[in-house]
Structure 1
Amino acid sequence: MVLSTEVALNPDKEYEVVDGQPEEKVMGGARHSGVGTRLIVRLGLHVEANQLGGVYGPDATFKIGRNDRLPDVSFVAADRIPPEGEPEGIWEIAPDLAVEIISPNDLYEKVTSKVLEYLAAGVRQVWLISPEHRTLTIYFSPTQTQILTEEDELVCEDLFPGFRCLIRDLFRNPGKS
């Protein structure tokens, strides 16, 4: 990512650009990564099998209003992917789905602001995953949400027809059933 700033950026870190300034995206560790990867695998297999579009990991950058954001997981519907394919760099559009996985060091205000920013930019759904509480909150709008616990099943017919995922599977201990 190229920024027009005089701040020296660590090339080993990921940065979002917020209000024109680089903001380090602090990675959340193994549990955070495991939850994201389990979701990417399940969602990616379904999306690919049904040619619904593309699923992306935490290094895909999207133009969200004035900011450049890196959701932990994202999805762009097939009909929105340009004929020439995925961009080499930043997506100049908002994704259809943005997923943020809450890290222990995340601040409530920053996470909430990011959710509202995604929705204002046209993201159709924002999923906020809490590994600590083992929940997935779906934001359809700033005032319409659905909270799923590990006893629930994630079904998202409008974005992913036929997709089903038990919430507990996202939090499952690797190598355990």
Structure 2
Amino acid sequence: MLTLPITLDLKTVNLSDEQFYQLCIKKPEIQLERTPQGDLILMSPVGGDSGNQEIELGADLVIWNRQTKLGKVFSSSTIFPLPNGGDRSPDAAWVELSRWEALTPEQRRKFPPIAPDFVIEVRSLSDSLKTLRDKMQEYLDSGVRLGWLFNPKNQQVEIYRLGQEKETCELPCSLSGESVLSGFSLRMARFG
């Protein structure tokens, strides 16, 4: 029996960005990501608890953004080709409006070639904490300014800031969007 996620070493194949895009479009039932080294990652679907946690956190972000109109919010189905070469799909992401509007219509229709300003990742039962931490570092290395990694298993959230050390908060806690998401705050209870 296969356990997901699975990483396929395809460095020798060297898929172009367009080939990776076409693979994702032609096989939408397979959720894919790509590492900066060119490995394909077959992501596992999440269970009910994780899916609920992702949408609840994303909904808070959407509600704030609808009120402020400061940017664009994206679901876990959106793949971002990052400047460091990886193609990643955070559980939720936000891009500041002027940066989004600087993209061409074609870039917006396909996988937007931009690092989000803010990302959320929620650890599911099948996720390795080390892998998620590496992914959060990859986001920062690509220019993401703020990221929250929620870990329901340990009842924690890790806060990642560009150019700073990671901060870990025990739940319950209050989170701030700081200067990235001006006015956004989230009172986070313990995961049930």
TM over 0.5: yes
Relative to the length of structure 2, the TM-score reads 0.78
Paired position in structure 2 for 1:77: 96
Comparing 139-148 with 88-97, which one deviates more in the overlay?
139-148
CA distance in 1, matches of 2:117, 2:21: 28
Flag the 1:4–1:156 CA change in 2: closer, same or farther, 3 A.
closer
Paired position in structure 2 for 1:96: 117
CA distance in 2, matches of 1:167, 1:133: 14
CA distance in 1, matches of 2:126, 2:140: 23
CA distance in 2, matches of 1:161, 1:67: 28
Displaced runs of 4 or more, over 4 A: 83-86
- The correspondence of residues 1-177 of structure 1 with structure 2, limited to 5 A, is 2-3=19-20, 11-18=28-35, 19-64=37-82, 65-82=84-101, 87-141=108-162, 143-168=164-189, 171=191
Bigger RCO (CA 8 Å, 6+ sep): 1
Contact 2:144 2:162 in 1 (8 A): no
CA distance in 2, matches of 1:10, 1:54: 26
Q: How many residues align?
A: 169
Relative to the length of structure 1, the TM-score reads 0.84
Structure with the higher helix share, 1 or 2 = 2
CA distance in 2, matches of 1:4, 1:15: 10
Q: CA deviation at 1:168?
A: 0.9
Q: CA deviation at 1:129?
A: 0.7
CA distance in 1, matches of 2:176, 2:69: 18
Gaps of 5+ in 1: 173-177
